[in-house]
Amino acid sequence: MSKNYYKNCGSLLDDDAKYCFRCGITVEYESPAKKLASFDFSSKDTSKKYNDYRSYIQVIAVLEIAFGILAFIGSTVIWFLVANLPEIMPHIGEVDPEFLQFWPLARNILVLVAFGLTIYGILSIIFGVSLYKFKSFGRIGTMVNAALGILNVPIGTIFGVTALYVLTRPETEVLFANNK
């Protein structure tokens, strides 16, 4: 198998390469004779574009980690309320009997919400760290979290749409191609 220089960035690639791992562009050779002749060594546009996407991905990863930490803090507050609310209520004042009748159902719902937030927070932190390290499972997990986050209006919608836009671009797929 022979190796040739790719015209956009000058990387040394195999003949059967589909992507350039340096600049991230899909490799399309016209003919073997034109591979080296058509390379423009002065072109810095392609590497700048991929560096921009690399920084976008890192910002999304940091936001994913931050949202995971916030979800984990929220779940901790809910766990605290579920565990301590019956003991706190008598000190606040008179407890409504209807509240005491409704409390077991409310407690079960709060436990489910807290459990869901705990799982979401842990997964968001894991996916954010792996996205920051350009691991492909972090990209897929963040895309799933972003799709679910679209339902959280308005901040989750803005983050979700932006993350899905950036993470589904062909340029970002190439950045994750060699990090399985």
Q: What is the pLDDT of residues 43-68, one digit of tens each?
A: 455 567 777 888 999 999 999 999 99
Residue 124 lies in a domain: yes
pLDDT, average across residues 108-117? 96
Residue 80 lies in a domain: yes
68 & 155 share domain: yes
96 & 166 share domain: yes
52 & 97 share domain: yes
Residue 54 lies in a domain: yes
Residue 38 has pLDDT above 70, yes or no: no
Residue 108 lies in a domain: yes
94 & 150 share domain: yes
Q: Using alpha carbons only, give the angle 55, 57, 63 rounded to the nearest 5 degrees.
A: 105
Q: Which of 58, 66, 72, 69 is nearest to 163 (CA)?
A: 58
Tell me which of 60-64, 67-71, 86-90, 163-167 is least confident: 86-90
Euclidean distance between the first and the last CA atom of the chain, given in angstroms as a whole number: 24
Residue 180 lies in a domain: no
**In the prediction, which pLDDT does 29 show?**
54
**Count of domains observed in the chain:** 2
Looking at 27, 43, 59, the residue that finishes a domain is 43
Q: Give the structural domain span for 15.
A: 1-43
100 & 147 share domain: yes
Neighbours of 21 (CB within 10 A): 14
Distances in Å between the alpha carbon of 171 and those of 101, 104, 175, 176?
A: 57, 51, 7, 9
Residue 142 lies in a domain: yes
56 & 38 share domain: no
167 & 136 share domain: yes
Residue 33 lies in a domain: yes
12 & 88 share domain: no
64 & 35 share domain: no
123 & 37 share domain: no
39 & 54 share domain: no
Enter the pTM of the model: 0.69
